[in-house]
Structure 1
Amino acid sequence: MDIDKSEGFDGKMDTELGQVPTKVESGEIDHGADTQLHRSLGTRHLTMVALGSAIGMGMWLGSGTSLVHGGPASLFIGFVIASTIIWSVCQSLGEMAVIYPLPSAFVQWTTIFVSPAAGFALGWGYWFSYWITIANELQGVVTVLSYWTDAVPTAAWITIFWMVIILINVWVVKFFAEVEVFSSTVKFGWMFVAIIAMIVITAGGAPAEGPIGFRYWNSQPVNNGFKGFIAVLPTCIFSMAGSENAALVATEVANPLRSMPKAIGSIWLRLGLFYVLGSLMITLTVDPNDPNLFGGSGSNASPFVIAFKNAGIPVMAHITNAVIFISVISTGSISGYGGSRMLMGMAHVQMNHRIFGKADSMGRPWAGYIATIGIGGALAYLNVSNTGAEVFTWLSNLVALLTVFGWGMICISHLRFRYAWKLQGRSDEHLPWRGLAFPYAPWYGLIWCILIIIIEFYLGIWPLKEESSAKNFFANFISVIVVFFIWICAQIYYRCPVWVDASTIDLDEFRRFYADHHEEGNASLKKSLGQRLKVIFE
């Protein structure tokens, strides 16, 4: 059991819960939840990772593909739905990360509360998504930089920024965190500016355009009917992939009870401002038939860049492209971080070779870095012989499905944890921090995750604007097939039940204990929305 001494644990027994935490001497490891990772990160690092980890290629560039396929109404509604899903998932994520801040987080939660086979499948599936994301972000670098010049070969750009992602991750963990704080600040700050500028554009304040209003909504709200709408959902999910990385960082922060609720609270601001309002501004200022949209004909470009360029504000277009470039590098480096921690966590539950469970004296898991960033960078060279739009579509669909599977397992783990907690006679009042809207939030998130997998299966068989083919089906749905194949094989290997017996789950083995958590942790449940937003920026 892990006692957070920053909370002032005094060694007393919690007689009501029957827990007997043991005092941990400095530098001593007392259970498998401890690792060679350092608790060197603070609240602002965790909060900014939660704010910025999902702000990458999916929103800046992928929203253009969705606008082409589904039209303005489909894009906006798709982001609203995806935002409600990830908000629900983050409520489960926050509660679990506070009480069980483990290296691979949701993989270990799934192993404990669902089954070892499910945890094995989730862990390897999520690791696949991390190196696929690195490949996707590296090819996104090529797309972004081609806005300025085509003189540099694609392979050269990929190689240069592959090295940049490596350096950000292996320098020191604190350096990685500071880079993410900087990049998240830039991304989020520029979004404020971009939204205000786009409001001015729609009102007719731009040099090159008169008032736009809801012109594109009125003329063509939906493209390709219902199929066009459901085709938008995977890209919207891909845009938000990475929000769950905050749980992986929790094991390296000094006090998850203080840091995690603030990070989860920031989800309100990011969802409302960046995704919902940002997608609305795109639909108001960019014509779905613009030939320069990413995924359409002509040069690849972000809808944000197109909006400023068409409005006659080239300086804003160049700055936005630069911010997109920072976003892409940031998301790629976070994926290297997440993948290495995922491999470490699996090694600590004997689901991976033990070499991946080791870190050096500075807290860097070298084996995990080499495997994750190495494979992701190598895969990025697919972009050399294919267009950026093609590669983006392939890889984003794979990541979207793996993300949806992961979000679904987070919701199931939370439901199973609460079930075991109640079954063993414990009160919810003794949880360090509780997510909102339980059990409705995890059930809502789980149902939507199942629906999106069904939708992707349908689109894999009957794709939008393409003929049905085995090649197209496997290109879009292979990740789910692989994950369930791994699950079945793990089920046979471990010979475990589909559900572990909730009455036998040890709820304290990997738990972190906090003194006086009732006053500090659950007080956040009583705060108003205004107070929550204020806490984010403290």
Structure 2
Amino acid sequence: MSESSIEKHTGDSKVLANNDSEVPVVGEVYDVVDHGADSQLKRQLGSRHISMIGLASSIGMGLWLGSGTSLMNAGPAGIFLGYILAGTIIWSVSHSIGEMAIMYPLPSAFVQWTNIFVDQSAGFALGWAYWLSFWITIANELQGVVTVISFWTTAVPTAALITIFWLVIVAVNVGAVKWFAEIEVVAAAIKFGFIFVVIISGIVLSAGGGPKGGYPARAGGTMGFQFWNEMPFINGFKGFLSVMPTCIFALSGSENAGLVAAETSNPRRSVPKAVKSMWVRLSLFYILGSLIITINVSPTDSNLFGGSGTNASPFVIMYRNDGVAPLAHIMNAVILISVLSTGGISGYAGSRILVGMSQLGMAPKVMQNTDSWGRPWWGLIPTLLIGGGLSYLNVSNSGATVFDWFSNLTSLFTLFGWGMICLSHIRMRAAWKAQGRSTDDLPWKSWAFPWAAYWGLFWSSVLIIVEFYLAVWPLNDKSSAKNFFANYLSVVAIVIFYIGAKIYYRGRRWNDLMQIDLDASRRFYAPRDMEHGENRSFTKWLKFSRKN
């Protein structure tokens, strides 16, 4: 620990305390020197905000609408297994985020971690690639709005709908940061609350409890897993591989909890809660959610998103087919809120990426500037403008086509980001060990290290290769240069960014473990902040006091 890490106040005097001199004792007051707070962002958010934004950021078009395309292409077993695999990856990534976001709560989080622990060139490539991904996500969510509204009416021109809801996303982001966070908390609560309705009602409908007796009853079949029995996999193993980009896209955004940590008052208390809640989100939304649609909606339903009918969400189709019209409309409204929420979070995250890049000298310094409310205008404006502008591609192309382009591109950026988060965690721990530090000094330790980090890194790498295979030999289409670049342009961009940075930084190798400064961007916590929630007991305090 550096000597400037903790300051102890005794009366009017100030004495430095560190591991080699004075040792903190219970009851004394300490100031935390927060080296990661040298941006102009305000630390106004708390545990509730980071947990709910982490919950809400990945629940958008990928889950509610993209699941329909996946169901058609891979069948019920294919989509279910796809979400399980993708879920294990992001669960692993979340543990790496948790450990690093607590100790290094920086504006662009994983971009700056990569720069510190891996390589400047990799950090440069990751930062600009992720900024591009946030444009694409905003555009994709806006085109998702058009699909959602078409369930009610097709009278409003596509361009008008995009413009109206683009302005809504802009309005959410231009308010005070705390207002933005409160809006996202409400949106997350709506999403989280309604998933219980979906699960319970889906089970009832599958058992024949709906007004029309459920699809199996209408078709003269058996209740329950009829579609699993008839067509568990569609298009074989290639069909299963084809759903992975959509599954990754659906889960993308979960890593945004690392970005929010830079604006929370005490990441040591906030971040672990977000990490520990990850399994709830995965099990409720993705695992059980996908299971519900596979037992209620036929993969051959023409109205599924990407089909020849209304292109509706499989969740909406489930209710409509079983004659529960009110729930179909409510479900569609929840989806509308979800896609707007995810678009808003993407604007927030994209602007913070630029703030962090500016701190690293990889973007203009003006990007760091914020106003008195903590809004980084120089990062917000280009992110929202470009993302909204891209969404107009939907005017001259079908929603499902645009979704395929954007989800494939975003999933590749996401896989690169997840892989670099896990690699940064591995390298951080390696540097910690190489410099003779004890893991007992870490503010929070992931019990899943190192296996989770290696699991996330391995599968992120494998799936990037899988997407190359699908770009060269796409499902239900012929090989062509157009298909390849439409589906794999993200990797081309990453390679160009990386090579360009390598040339600029004169081909430096990965950062030397012994030369990595583990304290320069670190946040040090006072003893009172190290104790949180479940550990805030007299016994724990007494143990701490005796030890020191």
The answer on whether the counterparts of 2:76 and 2:232 sit within 8 Å (CA) in structure 1 is yes
- Shift of the 325–453 alpha-carbon distance from structure 1 to 2, 3 Å rule, reads same
For residues 425 and 532 of structure 2, the distance between their equivalents in structure 1, rounded to whole angstroms, comes to 18
Mapped partners of 2:443, 2:280: distance in 1: 24
Q: 1:48 maps to what in 2?
A: 52
Q: 1:486 aligns with which of 497, 502, 508?
A: 497
Partner of 2:150: 146
In the alignment, the residues of structure 2 paired with residue 4 and residue 469 of structure 1 have an alpha-carbon distance, to the nearest angstrom, of 60
CA distance in 2, matches of 1:254, 1:348: 20
Q: Corresponding residue for 2:17?
A: 12
1:433-452 superposed matches below 5 A: 433-452=444-463
The answer as to 2:251 corresponding to 1:240 is: yes
TM-score, normalising length: structure 2: 0.91
Contact 1:99 1:512 in 2 (8 A): yes
Give, as a single letter, the amino acid of the residue that structure 2 aligns with 1:280: L
Equivalence for 2:401: 390
Distance of 1:4 and 1:279 partners within structure 2: 49
Deviation at 1:253, TM superposition (A): 0.5
| Partner residue of 1:409 out of 414, 420, 423 | 420
Residues 105-124 of structure 1 aligned to structure 2 (within 5 Å): 105-124=109-128
Supply the distance in 1 between the matched residues of 2:531 and 2:497 (Cα, whole angstroms): 41
Q: Unpaired segments of 5 or more residues in structure 1?
A: 525-538
Contact kept in structure 2, 1:430 and 1:518, CA below 8 Å: no
- Aligned partners of 1:403, 1:10: CA distance in 2, in Å? 46
Matched, 1:306 2:317: yes
Structure 2 counterpart of 1:105, one-letter code: A
Deviation sequence 1:43-97 (CA, Å, 0-9, x none): 1000001111100000000000000000000000000000000000000001000
Q: Match of 2:275? A: 264
2:140 paired with 1:136: yes
2:391 matches 1:380? yes
2:380 to 369, 392, 397: 369
Q: Which residue of 1 aligns with 2:329?
A: 318
Helix, strand or coil: the match of 1:512? coil
Distance 2:427 2:21 in 1: 22
C-alpha separation between the residues in 2 aligned to 1:16 and 1:114?
A: 32
The amino acid across from 2:484 in the alignment is F
- Residues 1:329 and 2:340 aligned together: yes
Cα shift at 1:329 = 0.3
Calculate the aligned-residue CA RMSD, in Å. Answer: 2.3
Give SS of 1:299's match.
coil
Q: Is the 8 A contact 1:432 1:522 kept in 2?
A: no
In structure 2, relative to structure 1, the CA distance for the partners of 1:461 and 1:333 (3 Å cut) is same
CA drift at 1:16 = 8.8
Give CA-to-partner distance per residue, 1:340-384, whole Å, 9 cap, x none.
000000000100001111111110000111110100000000000
Native 8 Å contact 1:17 1:426 kept in 2: no
| Aligned partners of 1:66 and 1:235 also within 8 Å | yes
Tell me the residue number matched to 1:529.
none
> What letter matches 1:203 in structure 2?
A
How far apart are 1:122 and its partner, in Å?
0.2
CA shift in 2, pair 1:69/1:394, >3 Å:
same
Give the whole-Å Cα distance in 1 for the aligned partners of 2:378 and 2:30: 29
1:89 aligns with 2:93: yes
Counterpart residue number, 1:296:
307
How many residues matched? Answer: 518
C-alpha change, 1:423 and 1:304, in structure 2 (3 Å) is same
Q: 1:474-513 to 2 correspondence within 5 Å?
A: 474-513=485-524
Contact 1:238 1:397 in 2 (8 A): yes
Q: CA deviation at 1:246?
A: 0.4
Q: Partners in 1 of 2:307 and 2:20 — Cα distance?
A: 64
The 1-side partners of 2:274 and 2:225 are apart by 35
CA-CA distance at 1:498 after TM superposition: 3.0
Deviations 1:229-273 (A, max 9, x none): 000111000000000000000010000000000011110110111
C-alpha deviation, 1:521, in angstroms: 6.3
Output the CA distance in 2 between the equivalents of 1:484 and 1:317.
Answer: 44
Q: 1:522 to 1:10 in 2, by over 3 A?
A: farther
Encode CA deviations 1:141-185: one digit per residue, 9 max, x unaligned: 000001000111000010011111011001110110000000000
Contact 1:4 1:255 in 2 (8 A): no
Cα distance 1:310–1:107, how it changes in 2: closer, same or farther (>3 A)?
Answer: same
Report the Cα offset of residue 33 of structure 1.
4.6
Query: What is the distance in 2 between the residues matched to 1:252 and 1:468?
Result: 46
Q: Distance in 1 between matches of 2:21 and 2:450?
A: 24
Partner of 1:530: none
Q: What is aligned with 2:545?
A: none
Structure 1 residue 186: deviation in Å?
A: 0.1
Confirm or deny that 1:423 pairs with 2:427: no
In structure 1, what is the Cα distance between the partners aligned to 2:460 and 2:131?
19
Q: Deviations over 1:503-538 (max 9, x none)?
A: 0111000100112379626977xxxxxxxxxxxxxx
TM-aligned CA deviation for residue 466 of structure 1: 0.3
- Cα pair distance change 1:113/1:25, threshold 3 Å: same
**Take 1:448 and 1:156, find their aligned partners in 2: how far apart are those partners?**
41
User: Which amino acid counterpart does residue 166 of structure 1 have in structure 2?
Assistant: V
Q: Residue 168 of structure 2 is aligned with which of 164, 169, 172? A: 164
| Cα gap change, 1:519 to 1:104, in 2 (>3 Å) | closer
> 2:70 and 2:147 mapped to 1: Cα distance?
17
- The Cα offsets for residues 270-324 of structure 1, whole Å up to 9 and x where unpaired, read as 0111110111111111000000000111111000000010111000000000000
Shift of 1:403: 0.2
Q: 1:468 to 1:3 in 2, by over 3 A?
A: same
Distance 1:102 1:156, change over 3 A: same
Name the SS of the counterpart of 1:502 in structure 2.
coil
Alpha-carbon separation, structure 2, partners of 1:243 and 1:430 = 27
Q: Distance in 1 between matches of 2:100 and 2:238?
A: 36
Change (3 A) 1:379 1:16: farther
Name which of 359, 364, 372 aligns with 1:353: 364
The question of whether the paired residues in 2 share the 8 Å contact of 1:116 and 1:496 is answered with no
Q: How has the CA–CA distance of structure 1 residues 518 and 381 changed in structure 2, closer, same or farther, with 3 Å as cutoff?
A: closer
Secondary structure at 1:441 match in 2: helix
Alignment partner of 2:514: what SS?
helix
Name which of 195, 204, 211 aligns with 1:191: 195
Structure 1 position 76 matched with structure 2 position 80: yes
Q: How far 1:432 moved relative to its partner?
A: 0.2
1:48–1:184 CA contact under 8 A, matched in 2 = yes
Q: Which has the larger Rg? A: 2
> Normalising to structure 1: TM-score of the pair?
0.93
Residues 212, 285 of structure 1: 8 Å contact kept: no
Q: Distance in 2 between matches of 1:231 and 1:503?
A: 42
Paired position in structure 2 for 1:285:
296
Indicate the residue corresponding to 1:534 in structure 2: none
Instruction: Compute the displacement of 1:18 (Å).
Output: 12
1:82-139 CA-to-partner distances (Å, cap 9, x unmatched) read 0000000000001000000000000000000001100000000000000100000000
Residues 518, 24 of structure 1: alpha-carbon distance in 2 compared, 3 angstrom cutoff: closer
Among candidates 27, 41, 61, match of residue 37 of structure 1: 41
